[in-house]
Amino acid sequence: MVYFNVTGMSGNQPPQSAPEPNSTRSDLEVLQDRFDRLKLVTMALWTFVRDEKGITEDQLMERVKEIDAFDGSKDGKLKIGIRKCGKCGKALNPKFEKCLYCGFVTPASSIFETF
């Protein structure tokens, strides 16, 4: 079984602490750090799936292409449209469970609609 060589990992501790708020770091640098950490966690999750389910990276790439087309554009990104309130039809703010206009709670059809 091959794992990626990531130094600094031990026990249940994250490999590095979250960046402290720091006025010298730009938003772009903070986002880059968060993206790199997300990539690390995604890769770790992928190794579990690969090892447990026997799925190849070619199969993963094929699935990514399929899902990429869900939003109508094969552009390497998935842009899920803005959800609308099931009662009044106004655009829902993904940060709030209830419609800001009428208070109706529209259930999400996918966890990926919630962020």
Contact residues for Zn ion, defined by CB under 5 A? 85, 87-88, 99, 101-102, 104
Residues 6+ apart with CB under 8 A from 15: 6, 7, 8, 9, 40
Of 101 and 112, CB closest to Zn ion = 101
Of 15 and 89, CB closest to Zn ion = 89
Count CA within 13 A, CB hemisphere, residue 63.
6
Of 40 and 108, CB closest to Zn ion = 108
Residues 6+ apart with CB under 8 A from 74: 65, 68
Report how far residue 47's alpha carbon sits from residue 55's, in angstroms, rounded to the nearest whole number: 10
Residue 98 CB, shortest distance to Zn ion, in Å, is: 8
Residue 79 CB, shortest distance to Zn ion, in Å, is: 23
Residue 92 CB, shortest distance to Zn ion, in Å, is: 8
